[in-house]
Structure 1
């Protein structure tokens, strides 16, 4: 389904909304840059934990019709 849905992290539980408009899925994406050689402040750490890209599961959604049409009519 391309980069909009698939990632290098655990993506799971795909569901299409009852009206067929949206694809919902969970993902454990971790996009936080972290330099272990530098000390991290409490504020930076809490911001990282509260981000949707903290490595914990979050729910994402995408317009299913646009994704469906792109996948069926292009060679991406």
Structure 2
């Protein structure tokens, strides 16, 4: 894991995940990305992203908004 002000990169044998945060007006921009590392998992990842990606993205941001509201 590499953690620096404003961003974080995590990597294992199977997965790479990264996120960053930067202020934007009264909001915070929070890009997130992740990918399976083995090439053999690429087709599975593409199917997963197509079928569940939008739903998982909405669920992720609902959770972020919920946690931010608790602060």
Q: TM-score range by the shorter chain?
A: 0.3 to 0.5
Structure number, greater radius of gyration: 1
Q: How does the TM-score come out when normalised to structure 2?
A: 0.35
Structure with a larger share of its residues in helix = 2
Structure having greater relative contact order (Cα 8 Å, sep ≥ 6): 1
